[in-house]
Structure 1
Amino acid sequence: MKRSISAIALAAALLMPQSAGADSNAWVAVTDGVSDKIKVYDPVVYNWNTLPAQRWEWKPNAAAGYSSAEIAAWDGAADVKLRDSGFWGGQVMATVSGAGLATVAAYPGGKELWSVVQGGTGTVNLHSIEVLPTGDVATVGSVEGKVRLYGVSHGIATPITYDLPDAHGVHWDDTRDVLWAVGKFTLVGLHVNYVNGVPEFSEFRKVPIPLTNGEIPYGHDVWPVYGNTDRLWIAVNWRVWQYDIAQNSWDDSYVGASVLHDSGQMVKSVGNVPSGQIVYTFPKTGWVTDTVSFTNPTATRPVTGAQIYKARPWIPGYDGTSGTAQDNLALKSSPSSSSTYESSTWGRAKAVDGQSGSVAGSYGFSSGVGKTTNHTEWFATGFTSPQAFNTVVIYPRSDSGYVGAGFPIDFKIQVWNGSAWLDRVTVTGYPQPGNAPQTFSLGTTDWSTAIRIYATKIPKVGPTDYLMQFAEVEVLNQ
């Protein structure tokens, strides 16, 4: 279920003291065995025991569409991932429980989209899940020792399997179209092919995990190294490797390796956010901890009384991005502004509705009428979770007689970093455009929950009013 966080609580979050090592460019999801919930936290908030730190939470229930048998097969999550899914028509959350439930749910709404009960800890012991771009779903179970693939895209209920002793982790490599899975001794890459409408596995690669001090590796986790599509994080007993796919080699000398290799740290989950900061968990009692750890730079986020198994960067793309290059993120955003003129033709929402021209019923956005001198206006649009983007496209007003009218003259395009607006584009003296889209590169790829167009000089539209107007805003990662 989605937790509603009030504007007061959000404001409080932005005033919370920040750790020197906190990275604000990606939220972190944890699997908590006390509440049996998946909880998503904002690392920029120092105290994770406060409501402002928590951005979302979920567990299966009847209101979300789950049956009593499915709810009974849930005793907390063994893994969780956020994915962009064209098959499901938006972002989804995929999760598994050792008690047997594997499920895909809409994010952030939490409604059930697909589920199966595979068996409990004694027969399967589910450890990880992945949603493929096709909509198919892969799972791994340590007791069963198999990779399962459900042909969801073809309506196939019976999974195909691949034997992998003590299978613990699974990840889709979108660069190579390979499903990676890690087990007790082995890392394996599998192609998924459909033959006469039936899925089949074929091996892309099968490599032994290096031994550490002669010990059995017990591969536990596989996750992409964001920023390098040739590398995977592979967590095993007493060591965290980076596997170089292109070189077919293992590296334990990367930046941060010495911290992850400290004696006694049997890392259960590992990954990094786009900035390079590493997020990981290692058990304090049994298989769980009450703290999420960070390095490069170092920070910790304890949650009093929690039993955290894994912590995941809450990033929807397989390689650390959000969606494909041309996805218009603004279509799934919530707009706001300093003022607005709302009518059957104008409105905030009409600037993010996908209609790039000014047409009947959707002329676009206009600031409030009645101001007869120049003044400041802003238009912002926010996302439910951090998104990667580097380009903003503003479509001018295009209705007859008013082409380009209301386009700001002096303005900035800004991104939200969790506590302040950062300038990315500064423009002065911008001429009134025609009806062609105006494209602005931010100069870097940002990971943020909001963008803002902040204008300090706007034109007069008509005989008296000074207005900021445009037909549409797009936010892209190109």
Structure 2
Amino acid sequence: MASVMVTEQASRRILVLDPGKGVWDPAADPGVVRWAFSPLGDRRYADLEPESSWVYPSEAKVRRHRGRILVLTTASFGFVGVVEWPGGRRYWGTAIGPGDDLFNPHTAEILPDGNVAVACSTGARVRLYAASLGPRATRYAEAGLKGAHGLHWDRRRRVLWAMGDDELVAYEVTGSAARPALTRLFADPLPVAAPGKSAGGHDLFPVAGRPGRMWVSTSAAVFQYDKARRVFVQDFAGVEEISRKGVKCVGDDPRTGRVVTTVPEPGLGETWWTTTVSLHRPPGAYKLVGGGIYKARWWLPV
């Protein structure tokens, strides 16, 4: 079974955890942590001022790019980083308004040319940085998107999918690697729970083994988006347990079919935290002792 990667906001770390243990207690059993990342105290990220920008890590994705395994991560107070695994070397990084919630980077994605897209939810925009120019490159193109939360690069269609509060948008990437540009191709409205309500688009992630589909979570439910038909469906196995309110992340393991999700639980330090990573097909759970988890992903470099 694949390891589980979580954005652990209570300790301000990205953790990759042992899937063979139902309870993760790093203080009592350090061996449950297979890998960890934090830019705090790391001179390679000092210019990004992580003491103020690395607050509430909100995303962790693992990607394979030109023979390297990279972890893409963002934090709500402005930090965006692409980190080489396992050594933690900086592929690229920036800080978008550290200490200011104007932009709130919520997720990131790397493109085949090495450039990096960032979704800024409060800033209502998608930025595409010319990260291929080097670890501290600052040039970018951007497009407005209300409540930008999700990103996914579609290798087959060669489009950048982005999800906001109310719509799923396909962008064409034009220009050059050094001077990229974003062109909006089309958009489909997200399903809403009631007329006049915002859908509250949240997580966007590929369905493993089904390149024609993507997972979509909104404030009210979980769907899959059929790219060919441009429709949101709930015809997937386990929908009765997977689809519920407030799902912050969703993804499946192609080898086992197991689906991982997180939803907030009451009584923790922040209203969006949980100590539980939920499993589906079959149902189960992991618990992180003392945790403040936001998202969880299977460790599956793609």
- TM-score of the pair, normalised by structure 1: 0.58
Q: CA deviation at 1:235?
A: 0.4
Q: Deviations over 1:36-69 (max 9, x none)?
A: 0000112222222233322111100344512154
Output the CA distance in 2 between the equivalents of 1:305 and 1:157. Answer: 37
Instruction: Name 1:29's counterpart in structure 2.
Output: 5
Correspondence 1:271 to 2:251: yes
Question: Would the alpha carbon gap of residues 197 and 61 (structure 1) be closer, same or farther in structure 2, given more than 3 Å must change?
Answer: closer
Question: Would the alpha carbon gap of residues 248 and 109 (structure 1) be closer, same or farther in structure 2, given more than 3 Å must change?
Answer: same
Matches within 5 A, 1:113-152: 113-119=91-97, 120-152=99-131
Correspondence 1:200 to 2:181: yes
Instruction: Name 1:289's counterpart in structure 2.
Output: 274
Question: Would the alpha carbon gap of residues 195 and 301 (structure 1) be closer, same or farther in structure 2, given more than 3 Å must change?
Answer: closer
| AA in 2 matched with 1:146 | R
Secondary structure, aligned partner of 1:78: strand
Q: Deviations over 1:7-57 (max 9, x none)?
A: xxxxxxxxxxxxxxxxx1x11110111110000112222222233322111
Question: Would the alpha carbon gap of residues 250 and 57 (structure 1) be closer, same or farther in structure 2, given more than 3 Å must change?
Answer: same
Instruction: Name 1:231's counterpart in structure 2.
Output: 213
Output the CA distance in 1 between the equivalents of 2:184 and 2:47. Answer: 38
Output the CA distance in 1 between the equivalents of 2:279 and 2:185. Answer: 33
Correspondence 1:51 to 2:30: yes
Q: CA deviation at 1:140?
A: 0.7
Instruction: Name 1:438's counterpart in structure 2.
Output: none
Correspondence 1:299 to 2:284: yes
Secondary structure, aligned partner of 1:65: helix
Output the CA distance in 1 between the equivalents of 2:105 and 2:71. Answer: 16
Secondary structure, aligned partner of 1:67: helix
Output the CA distance in 2 between the equivalents of 1:92 and 1:301. Answer: 25
Q: CA deviation at 1:225?
A: 0.3
Output the CA distance in 2 between the equivalents of 1:270 and 1:75. Answer: 22
Matches within 5 A, 1:185-196: 185-194=166-175
Output the CA distance in 2 between the equivalents of 1:157 and 1:66. Answer: 15
Q: Report percent identity of matched pairs.
A: 34
Q: CA deviation at 1:81?
A: 1.0
Output the CA distance in 2 between the equivalents of 1:197 and 1:101. Answer: 22
Instruction: Name 1:71's counterpart in structure 2.
Output: 50
Instruction: Name 1:83's counterpart in structure 2.
Output: 63
Q: CA deviation at 1:218?
A: 0.7
Question: Would the alpha carbon gap of residues 118 and 245 (structure 1) be closer, same or farther in structure 2, given more than 3 Å must change?
Answer: same
Secondary structure, aligned partner of 1:258: helix
Instruction: Name 1:316's counterpart in structure 2.
Output: 301
Q: CA deviation at 1:80?
A: 0.8
Output the CA distance in 2 between the equivalents of 1:108 and 1:38. Answer: 12
| Bigger relative contact order (CA 8 A; separation at least 6) | 2
* Equivalent in 120, 128, 141 of residue 160 of structure 1: 141
Instruction: Report if the CA contact (8 A) 1:27-1:313 is conserved.
Output: yes
Q: CA deviation at 1:260?
A: 2.4
| AA in 2 matched with 1:269 | C
Output the CA distance in 1 between the equivalents of 2:177 and 2:62. Answer: 31
Q: CA deviation at 1:245?
A: 0.2
Q: CA deviation at 1:266?
A: 0.8
Q: Deviations over 1:379-407 (max 9, x none)?
A: xxxxxxxxxxxxxxxxxxxxxxxxxxxxx
Structure 2 residues without counterparts, runs of 5 or longer: none
Q: Deviations over 1:357-414 (max 9, x none)?
A: xxxxxxxxxxxxxxxxxxxxxxxxxxxxxxxxxxxxxxxxxxxxxxxxxxxxxxxxxx
* Equivalent in 260, 267, 287 of residue 242 of structure 2: 260
How many residue pairs match? The answer is: 289
Q: CA deviation at 1:194?
A: 1.6
Q: CA deviation at 1:240?
A: 0.5
Instruction: Report if the CA contact (8 A) 1:64-1:110 is conserved.
Output: no
Correspondence 1:40 to 2:34: no
Correspondence 1:242 to 2:220: no
Structure 1 residues without counterparts, runs of 5 or longer: 1-23, 318-478
Instruction: Report if the CA contact (8 A) 2:149-2:203 is conserved.
Output: yes
Correspondence 1:97 to 2:82: no
Secondary structure, aligned partner of 2:291: coil
Secondary structure, aligned partner of 2:215: strand
Secondary structure, aligned partner of 2:205: strand
Q: Indicate the RMSD between aligned Cα atoms, in angstroms.
A: 1.7
Q: CA deviation at 1:124?
A: 0.5
Instruction: Report if the CA contact (8 A) 1:46-1:301 is conserved.
Output: yes
Q: CA deviation at 1:113?
A: 2.3
Output the CA distance in 1 between the equivalents of 2:75 and 2:218. Answer: 21
Instruction: Report if the CA contact (8 A) 1:235-1:268 is conserved.
Output: yes
Output the CA distance in 1 between the equivalents of 2:4 and 2:176. Answer: 38
Secondary structure, aligned partner of 1:140: strand
